[in-house]
């Protein structure tokens, strides 16, 4: 208990910055649906002020209230005093897990699977092979599935199935020198792209090759650790960070690129935040974090991708959803739109509230599905109003939420990543007959 009190006091200075002004009420997507003070940042920060006393009487209740948060960063982005709400909530969850321990379900998922990349890959391959037994197609345009048999967890939900072949089995590794660009980049694939959206990884590699960027793709990668740290599992997080540092730190590269907003945020902000200055790998973490860039940002700022000056007559209408971790946490917003507009076969339309959270929040969607779905429904209505045929997002987690909810709505809207849109124009240009 003494160690717990020390950890909580370490958050004291940050907690003191919050003056309970209530600005976070206006932007919190969870509060917008529930109207509960306990669900907004101000209420949770007030709760943490008395956390030591609450721990004796109701630790489970404290943890449950802290978990009713998407970690979207909307409150931190608008806070006039610059309170680092995400850091406070993440560290508070770690403190509570240290005191209470992980649930058996999270132990199985995080420490039994995610913490062991090789074993995790094998288990996902088995699941991908067996999924047709339990799943059936739900909606043609989105490629979603639904449960073939009754499932208490899935019930009537639609979901994006596992890819028949993960990206690491299609492209096991790459180690090419820089071409005319003079740039060599490492590619951090990320779990969702590798196992559910391998086309995003293909489009990323194709785009880098087109611009003659050298690529380093290690044979093995692990999860970025965000699911573990969001659950308060510091042990698994440290294990995954160390594993990934080992895969990447021995190679020379100018940038570490990801096509996942959450992976970019985790590597660039969460990794340095969670390791103290005296850590034996702190220097390597800081070096990789400094080099980490979102693929959209990289292609626009480093290779010169620009909007197309012309547009085809039958251009497909497309809109864009800003991932919270990309825009609110990293300030990246213009670049994905430029990537989309670089393809003349698409006509860009801005949707209403493009940066409003889609409501997924990782495991939040599983724990609080009704709230998650209500938040997502507002996003789906905004997509419908835009009358776009395609919606894009720079985050595969957001793409999951958009795909499933658009599928349930029977909208026929297709979900893609901006780099997929851009890669389509590269493929078309490269396949043009000579003289055109």
> Does residue 47 have a pLDDT over 80?
no
Q: Compute the average pLDDT of residues 367-372.
A: 93
3-state helix, strand, coil in the chain (%, to 5): 55, 10, 35
Q: Which of 66, 84, 101 is the last residue of a domain?
A: 101
> Does residue 256 have a pLDDT over 80?
yes
Given this model, what pLDDT does residue 435 score? 39
Could you tell me the sign of the dihedral formed by the alpha carbons of 266, 423, 200, 223, in that order? negative
CATH number, domain containing residue 359: 3.40.50.10700
User: Is 17 among the domain residues?
Assistant: yes
292-325 core/surface letters (b: 16 or more CB in 10 A; e: else):
bbbbbbbbbebeebeeeeeeeeeeeebbbbbbbb
Strand partners, 186: 216, 256
Share of the chain above pLDDT 70, in %: 91
Q: Which of 58, 74, 101 is the last residue of a domain?
A: 101
> Does residue 58 have a pLDDT over 80?
no
Given this model, what pLDDT does residue 150 score? 59
Q: What is the pLDDT of residues 309-367, one digit of tens each?
A: 888 889 999 999 999 999 999 999 999 999 999 999 999 999 999 999 999 999 899 89
> Does residue 1 have a pLDDT over 70?
no
User: Is 288 among the domain residues?
Assistant: no
User: Is 213 among the domain residues?
Assistant: no
Given this model, what pLDDT does residue 153 score? 60
345: domain range? 316-430
CATH number, domain containing residue 52: 1.10.1060.10
Given this model, what pLDDT does residue 338 score? 98
User: Is 224 among the domain residues?
Assistant: no
Given this model, what pLDDT does residue 134 score? 85
End-to-end CA distance of the chain: 73
Q: Compute the average pLDDT of residues 26-42.
A: 90
Report residue 436's pLDDT band, with 50, 70 and 90 as the boundaries. very low
Q: Which of 80, 101, 122 is the last residue of a domain?
A: 101
Residue 414: φ, ψ to 5°: -95, 145
Which one is predicted more confidently, 199 or 100?
199
Phi-psi group of 22: left, alpha or beta (phi > 0 → left; psi -120 to 50 → alpha; rest → beta): left
- In angstroms, the CA 255 to CA 248 distance is 11
Report residue 56's pLDDT band, with 50, 70 and 90 as the boundaries. low
Given this model, what pLDDT does residue 27 score? 94
User: Is 47 among the domain residues?
Assistant: yes
Given this model, what pLDDT does residue 54 score? 66
User: Is 209 among the domain residues?
Assistant: no
User: Is 424 among the domain residues?
Assistant: yes
Triad 75, 399, 428: Cα angle to 5°: 130
Q: What is the pLDDT of residues 131-178, one digit of tens each?
A: 988 888 888 777 898 887 656 666 668 889 999 999 999 999 999 999
- In angstroms, the CA 129 to CA 124 distance is 9
> Does residue 387 have a pLDDT over 90?
yes
Query: In 10 A of CB 434, how many CB atoms?
Result: 4
Name the 3-class secondary structure at 33: helix
Q: What is the largest CA-CA distance in the chain?
A: 77
Phi-psi group of 103: left, alpha or beta (phi > 0 → left; psi -120 to 50 → alpha; rest → beta): beta
Given this model, what pLDDT does residue 57 score? 72
- In angstroms, the CA 189 to CA 186 distance is 10
> Does residue 13 have a pLDDT over 90?
no
Share of the chain above pLDDT 90, in %: 71
Mean pLDDT of the chain: 90
Q: Compute the average pLDDT of residues 282-306.
A: 97
Q: Compute the average pLDDT of residues 300-306.
A: 97
User: Is 347 among the domain residues?
Assistant: yes
Name the domain count of the chain: 2
Q: Compute the average pLDDT of residues 247-274.
A: 96
The residue among 261, 152, 244 whose CA lies nearest residue 197 is: 261
Given this model, what pLDDT does residue 84 score? 87
Q: What is the pLDDT of residues 60-70, one digit of tens each?
A: 788 888 899 99
């Amino acid at each position: 208990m003494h160690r717990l009190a020390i950890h909580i006091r370490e958050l004291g200075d940050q907690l003191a910055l919050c003056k309970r002004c209530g600005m976070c009420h206006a932007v919190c997507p969870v509060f917008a649906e529930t109207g509960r003070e306990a669900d907004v940042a101000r209420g949770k920060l007030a709760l943490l002020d008395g956390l030591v006393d609450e721990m004796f009487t109701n630790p489970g209740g404290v943890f449950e209230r802290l978990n009713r948060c998407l970690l979207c960063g909307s409150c931190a982005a608008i806070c006039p005093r610059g309170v680092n709400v995400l850091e406070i909530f993440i560290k508070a969850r770690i403190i509570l897990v240290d005191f209470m321990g992980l649930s058996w379900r999270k132990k199985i998922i995080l420490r039994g699977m995610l913490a062991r990349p090789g074993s995790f890959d094998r288990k996902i391959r088995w699941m991908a092979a067996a999924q047709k037994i339990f799943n059936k197609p739900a909606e043609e345009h989105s490629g979603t599935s639904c449960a073939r048999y009754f499932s208490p967890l899935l019930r009537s939900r639609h979901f994006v199935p596992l890819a028949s072949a993960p990206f690491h089995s299609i492209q096991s590794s790459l180690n090419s020198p820089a071409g005319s660009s003079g740039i060599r980049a490492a590619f951090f694939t990320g779990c969702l792209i590798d196992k559910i959206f391998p086309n995003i990884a293909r489009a990323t590699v194709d785009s880098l090759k087109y611009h003659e960027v050298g690529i380093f793709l290690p044979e093995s990668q692990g999860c970025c650790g965000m699911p573990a740290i969001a659950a308060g599992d510091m042990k698994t997080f440290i294990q995954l960070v160390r594993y990934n540092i080992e895969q990447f730190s021995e190679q020379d590269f100018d940038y570490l690129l990801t096509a996942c907003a959450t992976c970019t945020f985790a590597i660039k902000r969460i990794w340095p935040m969670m390791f103290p200055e005296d850590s034996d790998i702190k220097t390597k973490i800081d070096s990789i974090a400094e080099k980490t860039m979102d693929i959209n940002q990289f292609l626009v700022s480093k290779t010169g991708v620009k909007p197309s000056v012309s547009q085809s007559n039958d251009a497909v209408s497309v809109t864009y959803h800003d991932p919270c971790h990309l825009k609110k946490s990293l300030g990246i917003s213009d670049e994905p739109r430029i990537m989309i507009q670089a393809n003349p076969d698409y006509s860009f339309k801005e949707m209403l509230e493009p940066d409003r959270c889609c409501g997924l929040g990782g495991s939040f969607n599983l724990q609080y599905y009704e709230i998650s779905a209500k938040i997502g429904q507002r996003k789906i209505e905004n997509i419908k109003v835009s009358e776009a045929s395609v919606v894009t997002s720079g985050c595969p987690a957001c793409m999951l939420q958009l795909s499933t909810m658009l599928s349930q709505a029977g909208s026929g809207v297709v979900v893609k990543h901006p780099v997929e849109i851009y890669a389509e124009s590269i493929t078309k240009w490269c396949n043009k007959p000579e003289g055109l």
